[in-house]
Amino acid sequence: MPSNPRTSRRSFFDLTPQQYQELSDAKALSLEKLADRQMMLQARYAQTGMVGAIMLLLSCVGAFVYLVMNQHPTEAYFVLGGAVLTLITRILSARL
């Protein structure tokens, strides 16, 4: 006959001080690993954002050159102006 799971479970009160210390170290290590992973994900998120912003800025510069070469200077200035103003706004909001 199987034993009752409630009575067969060990609780924290049944542990010796050394076992509790080992459990605490294991928990601390797992929390440290989680913190490292979170920092890694935040760094990856920031790097992905930077790469995306650089690609967008380069595409706006390319559109500017294309429009200027095809005799559309006014539209080209709007394309480049919008990108530059957005870049300046983002830099200022990040610094403040």
Tokens of 31: 């929390």
- In single-letter form, the type of residue at position 84 comes to V
d(CA 79, CA 52): 17
Residue range 14-65, pLDDT digits in tens = 667 787 677 777 777 777 888 889 999 999 998 998 899 899 999 999 999 9
Confidence grade of residue 1 (pLDDT, cut at 50, 70, 90): very low
pTM over 0.75: no
